[in-house]
Structure 1
Amino acid sequence: MSVQNVVEIEPVGPALSVVLGKLQAAYRADPAPSYEQRVDRLSRLHAGLMEFKDKIIDAVDQDFDGRAHAETMLAEILPILEGIRYYRKNLRKLMGQSKRHLPLMLMGAHAKVHYQPLGVVGIVVPWNFPVFLGLSPLVGALAAGNRAMIKTSEFAPNTADLLTEMISKHFTDEEVVVINGDVSVATEFTKLPFDHLVFTGSTPVGRIVMRAAAENLTPVTLELGGKSPVIIHDDFEIEEAAKRVVFGKGLNAGQICVSPDYVMVPRGKVDAFVAAFVKAFSHRYPTLAANKDYTSIITERQRDRLVENIEDAKAKGATVTAINPSNDSFEGTRKLPMHLVTDVTEDMRVMQEEIFGPILPVIPYDTLDDAIAYVNDRDRPLALYYFDWDKARGEKILNETHSGGVCINEVVTHVAVDDMPFGGVGPSGMGHYHGKEGFLNFSKAKGVVRKGKLDGNQCVGAPWDNKMFKLLVNFQLRRFRKP
């Protein structure tokens, strides 16, 4: 395969447009890839991942200056392979044209929905999951028959290098192109006239991306995160809930768009939850500084931001519990202990912005309705987590709150279910990828009416006082007399 599809853009300028133009020309030359072509592209991506997985895992570890290889395998490599498997199994059915019903006035015709590729999909990749959040949208785009340009994160350069090597080995520069570069390149990238643009990142940057895409009327899928709440019902065992929240919050040291952002517990159980969380976290991570299972913060700048948020909470009256079981020193590392924050107030930065790190506010509530109202008074999150064995109350949560996705008695793992959509709502994003909805997201559903030799319009057309038209109208009105 060509190595020309690995592109370093420095400085920005016409080169991006040239790369896009080549992909667009290739799409126009082959606008309807067959089932076999699509499966072949998915299979090549599968082969690339299997070939490069160990090197990619090492690269992610280097970029984070410490991330467990098991976490990268669990959260990045395996879900992509699962997504490829899903589409290879279901693609023929997804590509099938869908028959639709016609109104009586079009009797004799046939209607169907034809699904076709959009063209070229742009994908902007964040640093927190630099493999999964780049290649998972790519899987859906390729399944739908598109070509793609991927902008890697400059904060994960080693991973970006491996991805560009993998893509260039297994795809031509008329199928998938990888773009490397800094924020100026990313800015120019989002201004390109893609047929669809996928962006994963913060809500403020998402607004900027959407404005840039609007200039070209480019449809967008925005996966923006937000403050994903956990609600623990009074009937649920607090120790069990703490164990399950620790699992999700500990992954990637909280640097996940769907990481639990704050926990709501029944008033009177705050101390019990804190104690249970400390115990469960200490069991999973008995040491931190030299523990390869506990992920570092991606950059010094991000670590400084998190430390400033902790100090801001302390200064405004919060109680902060740092969980450092072996009293490690973190000098010379980018690691940061898990911090529980109680006695929080709304003016604290930990309650005003997405945390994206090892900090977890714990908030008391009185009734379930109070907890629901608290969540609904804020921006709609990317995920919501509810702990309760009562199914009726679980349905109440589903019906009375809005979020991109929900886990009941679990956190985070819904993202790995490839047979259902993943995406946000409102400030946490729009659009979906994964599963059937991902295929539809990257396809144009084109309505088609095909008429045969019999043309009924000739019987009912103007002049409109003809008998056939009157008979048709009267018949239809009798049909519609009752709702």
Structure 2
Amino acid sequence: MTPSERLQATYKKQYEASRKHAYPSIQERKDNLEKLAQVIDANRDRICDAIDKDFGGRSHNESTLLELVPLMGNIADAKKRLKKWSKPQRRHVGLAFKGASNKLIPQPKGVIGVVTPWNYPLLLALGPVVSAMAAGNRCIVKQAANSQNLCRLLDEIISPVLDETVLAVIPGTSARKFSSMPWDHMVFTGSAATGKVVMEAASKNLTPVTLELGGKSPTIIAPDFDIRTAAERVTFTKFLNAGQTCVAPDYLFVPEGKVEEFVKHAKDIVGSRYDSVNNNDLTAIIDEAAFNRLTATLADAKEKGAECINLLSGDDSNTEGQKIAPHVVVNPTDDMIIMQDEIFGPLFPIKTYKSLDDVVEYINERERPLALYMFSNDKKFQDKVFYSTLSGAVCINDSMFHVAQHDMPFGGVGNSGMGHYHGIEGFIEFSKLRPVFKQSTMTSKIILMLAPPYGPLFKNVTNLMLKLRL
């Protein structure tokens, strides 16, 4: 079969299975999650090899840290909490219905389509799947064109272990075709521009969507926080995966007069982690187009007057290996490309500030970011930033690690996305909380007193209900 034919055939099988067996048991769900965990665990080296090949250079250690560890943790957490998440929720009954009962039962939505980007090809493919399968759904995954080595491998290792009516990863599928199908829910991770196209396609089938879209996540170092400590933490997360992370710190605010100190520490710290741009622990830029975009972004900043500082010794880049050395870009202006679009690379703009009010105003003039980071031990500073801005998430005294918290939802707001997964919120995202009202004999008799023909009794009872606000 062609990828399109296989997609249609698999969707049909999952659709029929979801209608015939709408509520997989808790044990079935746990078993399926465990099968997924076992197949991932048994193929760790092959998975890291495939990701390395797709990137043209990504350390097994980085893939283990960024993809395998959080994914396996997600699965374990979902299995542990699934029984509790699945319990019917009791809800209050109005006084007028004394004796009746209300409850909400989490109902699987059905067939979930998952559209995955290339930057975290394993975690962002199977992370949403874990939440969706825990909720009793069936999933089909479409991976990015730049992740087809991993996609083919996942198809190869998952197909013999999990029935395709439960989970399928299909190589070579068309993004346009995939997003136009009548899913019961669809997850898309990628750019805001593509997210709008996906949402428009989904709307034709009234398909609900979860969008994880990224954006320019600001980072603020407060005057009270130690500059070296901040530099150690923020450069670690910023340059993981060569900055190709949707929640990477995108630009940095440093108190006026402390930029030179930050740069000095950053050069020392980053230089101790990567000896040169050719270091094997430094991830390659995903493809030639992205490499050219980033080098052009850096050149644009230099031409317009920013100070661009290579944090490593030696060359700024390696064209053949498609690697770019971690850079800081000091005093960028808003007309520079680096301050207009999400960077998605190892370039870190640094702006200075005198007043926190100016920082807040700058952030609020722009689209709401997927994450906001601040380094401060001052509660007033923290509260000022938190309650004066809006973002998908906030991380205090570090960055990105909120995503690694299994019992916290991950998601954006506004231009950075909608909906979320992870934890109970992910379980609910892929469930329909189905209301169940059970009438009692006594309440039914009272309610039937309000049936036509309407007369004095009806008027007296409704007046009493209005007075008591039942």
Q: Deviations over 1:288-335 (max 9, x none)?
A: 31x221111111111011011111112222221122224487242111
Distance 1:31 1:328 in 2: 56
Instruction: Name the counterpart of 1:59.
Output: 50
Instruction: Name the counterpart of 2:405.
Output: 417
**SS of 1:464 mapped into structure 2:** coil
Distance 1:82 1:8 in 2: 35
Q: Deviations over 1:351-396 (max 9, x none)?
A: 1110000111101112112111111110001111000011232133
Amino acid at match of 2:455: D
Matches within 5 A, 1:161-240: 161-181=152-172, 185-240=174-229
Distance 1:84 1:15 in 2: 27
Aligned: 1:94 with 2:80: no
Alpha carbons 1:255, 1:356 under 8 Å: kept: yes
| TM-score normalized with structure 1 length | 0.94
Instruction: Name the counterpart of 1:462.
Output: 452
Aligned with 1:288 (options 277, 280, 290): 277
Alpha carbons 1:8, 1:180 under 8 Å: kept: no
**SS of 1:364 mapped into structure 2:** strand
Evaluate the alpha carbon distance shift between residue 378 and residue 358 of structure 1 in structure 2; reply closer, same or farther with a 3 A threshold: same
Distance 1:222 1:140 in 2: 15
Could you tell me which runs of 5 or more consecutive residues in structure 2 were left unpaired when the two chains were aligned. Answer: none
Instruction: Name the counterpart of 1:85.
Output: 76
Instruction: Name the counterpart of 2:230.
Output: 241
Matches within 5 A, 1:316-355: 316-327=304-315, 330-355=318-343
Question: Which of 330-339 and 470-479 deviates more?
Answer: 470-479
Instruction: Name the counterpart of 1:3.
Output: none
Distance 2:11 2:184 in 1: 11
| TM-score normalized with structure 2 length | 0.96
Question: Which of 267-276 and 132-141 deviates more?
Answer: 267-276
Matches within 5 A, 1:402-413: 402-413=390-401
Aligned with 2:111 (options 120, 137, 141): 120
Alpha carbons 1:460, 1:466 under 8 Å: kept: no
Question: Which of 119-128 and 260-269 deviates more?
Answer: 260-269
- The number of residue pairs the alignment matches comes to 468
Alpha carbons 1:153, 1:180 under 8 Å: kept: no
Distance 2:2 2:296 in 1: 35
Distance 2:225 2:56 in 1: 38
Evaluate the alpha carbon distance shift between residue 367 and residue 179 of structure 1 in structure 2; reply closer, same or farther with a 3 A threshold: same
**SS of 1:180 mapped into structure 2:** coil
Aligned: 1:385 with 2:373: yes
Amino acid at match of 1:214: S
Distance 1:149 1:327 in 2: 43
Instruction: Name the counterpart of 1:446.
Output: 434
Instruction: Name the counterpart of 2:100.
Output: 109
1:471 CA drift (Å): 4.2
Could you tell me which runs of 5 or more consecutive residues in structure 1 were left unpaired when the two chains were aligned. Answer: 1-6
Distance 2:380 2:84 in 1: 35
Instruction: Name the counterpart of 1:259.
Output: 248
